[in-house]
A and B are shown apart, each in its own frame.
Chain A
């Protein structure tokens, strides 16, 4: 009798208490769920942004100059407000002399229209060759210096960025792939100022104040014929007016061409990864008359056949299959680059440049680089610490 009574009492107690227990469990689950949802919402809202980028510290040592220079910090803001929209903004911050220089590298919005088409609008990296579009960040560039005429110095003649619309995408064709990027953009501006003679007849890009009836256009097509995407060959073209509306220059046009080559693959027989990159550029700019910088009266004009070419070819080897942890992180690089100026241009001469480098990768995006660069009467050692983030 007693055991039955105890069981009945327990059962009654259980029935009386169970709603409270269930209620507590239910409430706890509800609270947990609300906290989780709230946290997820907050995280989702906050995580639409990502700050990426890279920072760089350089040193240059030659017979005439020893300096730590070009300290740069380049944050890239990525914002994805919608699954089909991406906004990207790069701010280039660097110390120039004793001042800090801030420049808008690019600022564009991309709309992923479908599998094969993405439309970009704004200021974007020029799809001309591969160096500016893909390889220029210091944590990607294999050497502490940029190839001749591919940077933004007085020899540069290729586009760095464009302002306008860009239509791009990639597709698979059998085991091969193809990618494309076609743009319409503001015209480049012909530099005529005699203050820097070597810049006369070159172009500046990414201008918003260019005045001309027609826009420039161009693009790049890349072919990846091998199924493992290790090989890519690209062809680029750009055409447009470059002169301003003044009588002397209003009909001046420029046509530019580039061919690029990229091959990278781990290869067993050399126990490492071979990375080859090359690019050849050509600019044909209509002949125009420029003020002779050698004439102090400013009344003498001169002209030249404004066709110039440049190229670089680079090979890097990293023993990624080595047993040694140190060797795995070490990379050897060689680059051969050249610049052929227009015949008759002021203060320009043919240049051949040889750069021998060694890199040590602390991790996938942090490297210490050292290189010896040889040019006629201009040899120097460069070091660089590059950190991507």
Chain B
């Protein structure tokens, strides 16, 4: 048990080190749709290209992902706009 705790603590320390090493500070609202697409989709799965679905399909998928991944409304709208228009 103690060994497991040590392994977990060690893993968390290593991860936190990597997190802060790669951290760049900026607010979510300042980010572009492409940034939010890259940062949020990959939290669970590979990020899909905009060509994977039609604009109408993206509209449905954005609602599905907003509900499933509990994205904020701003994130969901910006990501949808990026996938539909490329901006």
Taking CB as reference atom, which chain B residue is nearest A140? B45
- A242-283 vs B, Cβ < 8 Å mask (1 yes, 0 no): 000000000000000000011111111100011010100000
A-B residue pair count with CB separations less than 8 angstroms: 130
Interface segment among A21-29, A169-177, A287-295: the answer is A169-177
Whether B70 lies near A222 (C-beta < 8 A) is yes
- With contacts A172-B28, A230-B19 known, is A50 near B74, CB below 8 A? no
Whether A175 lies near B28 (C-beta < 8 A) is yes
**Set of chain A residues within 8 Å of B26, measured between Cβ atoms:** 175, 227
Is A355 part of the contact surface with B, judged by Cβ < 8 Å?
no
- With contacts A135-B44, A175-B25 known, is A265 near B74, CB below 8 A? no
Whether A228 lies near B70 (C-beta < 8 A) is no
Is B8 part of the contact surface with A, judged by Cβ < 8 Å?
yes
Q: In the complex, how many angstroms separate the beta carbon of A316 from the nearest chain B beta carbon?
A: 11
**In the bound complex, how far is the Cα of B71 from the Cα of A179, in angstroms?**
8
**Set of chain A residues within 8 Å of B42, measured between Cβ atoms:** 264, 273
Q: Which of B22, B28, B60, B67 contacts A168 (CB 8 A)?
A: B67
- A29-59 vs B, Cβ < 8 Å mask (1 yes, 0 no): 0000000000000011001101010000000
Whether B15 lies near A361 (C-beta < 8 A) is no
Taking CB as reference atom, which chain A residue is nearest B40? A229
Is A118 part of the contact surface with B, judged by Cβ < 8 Å?
yes
Category for how many chain A residues contact B: 35 or more
Q: Which residues between 9 and 65 of chain B lie within 8 Å of chain A, taking CB atoms?
A: 11-12, 15, 18-19, 21-29, 39-40, 42-49, 52-54, 56-57, 59-61, 63-64
**Set of chain A residues within 8 Å of B11, measured between Cβ atoms:** 276, 278, 313
**Set of chain B residues within 8 Å of A267, measured between Cβ atoms:** 18, 21-22
Q: Which of B4, B27, B47, B66 contacts A174 (CB 8 A)?
A: B27
- With contacts A228-B39, A264-B42 known, is A86 near B47, CB below 8 A? no
Taking CB as reference atom, which chain B residue is nearest A181? B70
Whether B43 lies near A112 (C-beta < 8 A) is no
**In the bound complex, how far is the Cα of B43 from the Cα of A2, in angstroms?**
81
- A139-181 vs B, Cβ < 8 Å mask (1 yes, 0 no): 1100000000000000000000000000011111011010111
Taking CB as reference atom, which chain A residue is nearest B26? A227
**In the bound complex, how far is the Cα of B13 from the Cα of A201, in angstroms?**
37
Taking CB as reference atom, which chain B residue is nearest A119? B67
**Set of chain B residues within 8 Å of A388, measured between Cβ atoms:** 45
**Set of chain B residues within 8 Å of A364, measured between Cβ atoms:** 45-49, 52
Which of A267, A274, A364, A365 has most B Cβ within 10 Å? A364
Whether B27 lies near A227 (C-beta < 8 A) is yes
Q: In the complex, how many angstroms separate the beta carbon of A167 from the nearest chain B beta carbon?
A: 11
**In the bound complex, how far is the Cα of B26 from the Cα of A261, in angstroms?**
23
Q: In the complex, how many angstroms separate the beta carbon of B2 from the nearest chain A beta carbon?
A: 14
**Set of chain B residues within 8 Å of A172, measured between Cβ atoms:** 27-29, 72, 74
- B70-84 vs A, Cβ < 8 Å mask (1 yes, 0 no): 111111000000000
Is A80 part of the contact surface with B, judged by Cβ < 8 Å?
yes
Taking CB as reference atom, which chain A residue is nearest B41? A364
Taking CB as reference atom, which chain B residue is nearest A364? B46
Taking CB as reference atom, which chain A residue is nearest B72? A170
- With contacts A86-B64, A118-B67, A181-B70 known, is A175 near B59, CB below 8 A? no
Residues of A within 8 A of B (CB): 43-44, 47-48, 50, 52, 78-80, 86, 88, 110, 112, 115, 118, 120, 133-135, 139-140, 168-172, 174-175, 177, 179-181, 222, 226-232, 261-269, 273-274, 276, 278, 311, 313, 338, 361, 364-365, 388
What would be 17 A-B contacts, judged by CB atoms less than 8 Å apart?
Answer: A80-B60, A88-B67, A115-B72, A118-B66, A134-B44, A168-B67, A226-B19, A227-B26, A229-B43, A230-B43, A232-B43, A263-B18, A264-B42, A264-B43, A267-B21, A364-B48, A364-B49
Q: Told that A86-B64, A115-B73, A227-B24 touch, could you supply 5 new A-B pairs with CB distance under 8 A?
A: A52-B61, A88-B67, A133-B68, A175-B27, A177-B72
**Top-6 shortest CB links A-B:** A179-B70, A47-B56, A364-B46, A170-B70, A115-B73, A86-B63
